[in-house]
Amino acid sequence: MSLLDIIHQDAHIVVVNKPSGLLSVPGRGPDMQDCVVNRLRKMMPHCMEQPSVHRLDMDTSGLQLLALQPEGQRRLCLQFQEHEVRKLYYALIEGVVAEDSGTIELAFRLDPDNRPFQVHDPVQGKTGITHWRNLGLQDGQTVVEFEPRTGRTHQLRLHAAHERGLGFPIVGDRLYGTGTAPGQLRLHSGLLDFKHPHSGLPMVFKNRPAWLRL
């Protein structure tokens, strides 16, 4: 089990740069135990048992916030629930997106016959809202900045790939695109903006993915 790339650490919180292909939390079975949470607990034995504040998909890389103490976790989770945390993601899209910016609103839900795949369902689905901005072309593919206003499962991946979204999947997406292996997804959590759970001071962390050259 490898160590974590720690961006920030104090007595209350830890911000890590999660690599693509690593789980955020433990999965089922002994082969699904290597994750951000277990690596953090190994590095910091004083950490609470379940320090997760939010999760990134296994194939998504970038900034992830964790709490070391229960009260701090409660306050941070409340910020996420109240949509007080600003998040930005970088994505490399399989195609040329013509528009400069926009907002995607799509309702979707889990497909129980094809887990964990999400499907568009305007009747029974829950609406996900994403603002996006076109940052330009890189090797014939579009770099997009996503700002999710909700936190639905696979929201950005589905909003990119669906015909009512951008119409092109994210490069390396194994579920909604042409990706074939872990670690290929070009989706990166590049900014977290929140209030410190103890001091209340604003905390802003930025991190660019290695693949971004613009």
Torsion region of 62: left, alpha or beta (phi above 0 gives left; psi -120 to 50 gives alpha) = left
Active site residue 121: no
Answer for the pair 197, 71: CB distance below 8 angstroms, yes or no: yes
Contacts of 58 (CB under 8 A, 6+ apart): 20, 21, 22, 23, 24, 182
Q: How far apart are CA 136 and CA 21, in angstroms?
A: 26
Contact by Cβ (8 Å): 11, 68: yes
CA pair distance 127, 68, nearest whole angstrom: 32
Task: Considering the candidates 5, 10, 57, 59, report the single residue annotated as catalytic.
Answer: 57
Catalytic residues: 57
